[in-house]
Amino acid sequence: MTQEKFGEKDFQAIIGNLLRYGVWTSLSVAFIGGIVYLLNHSQEVENYSVFKENDRNIFEVISAVYNGAIQGRGESIIFSGIILLFLTPVFRVLLSLFSFILEKDYLYVVITTIVIGIIIMSISFGFSH
């Protein structure tokens, strides 16, 4: 077995573990946030007849979630878990990019860079109104 193939298998194992542990971590964070939320708001009745749209940009949302999670607010902890869940495949694509660079597989470097660009554009345009 050559050293290159061994490194490739190591990267595949790391990527697999990233996906596995990323999902479990995000679910655990969201579950803990759900418990915190229920402990603090179990008697409240939510009004679902009115939809409240949020027109903040992504940086304001992340800042509000971060500050709320630091303060121990359940809804912010749940949202942190959701953000972690969304970031897990993004980290997988970034790790794949580094793997392709090390393997000198430039076609896949270009394709992965395009995918990363699409993700960045989707996030940017998805949160701007």
Q: Give the mean pLDDT of the chain.
A: 85
CA distance 55 to 60: 10
Residue 61 lies in a domain: yes
Range of the domain at 117: 10-127
**What average pLDDT does range 77-96 have in this prediction?**
92
Residue 1 lies in a domain: no
Position with higher pLDDT, 27 vs 9: 27
**Residue 81, Cα to own-chain centre: how many angstroms?**
8
Tokens of 19: 């996906």
Provide the domain count of the chain: 1
CA distance 98 to 15: 11
The whole-number pLDDT of residue 7 equals 66
Q: How confident is the model at residue 58 (pLDDT cuts 50, 70, 90)?
A: confident
Does the pLDDT of residue 126 top 80, yes or no? no
The model carries a pTM of 0.75
Does the pLDDT of residue 95 top 80, yes or no? yes
Does the pLDDT of residue 121 top 80, yes or no? yes
Residue 43 lies in a domain: yes
Assess contact for 103 and 8: CB atoms under 8 A: yes
Residue 25 lies in a domain: yes
Residue 22 lies in a domain: yes
Tokens of 70: 């630091």
The whole-number pLDDT of residue 49 equals 80
The whole-number pLDDT of residue 2 equals 46
Does the pLDDT of residue 97 top 80, yes or no? yes
Residue 4 lies in a domain: no
Residue 44 lies in a domain: yes
Q: How confident is the model at residue 42 (pLDDT cuts 50, 70, 90)?
A: confident
Residue 23 lies in a domain: yes
**What average pLDDT does range 91-103 have in this prediction?**
89
φ/ψ of residue 19, rounded to 5: -65, -45
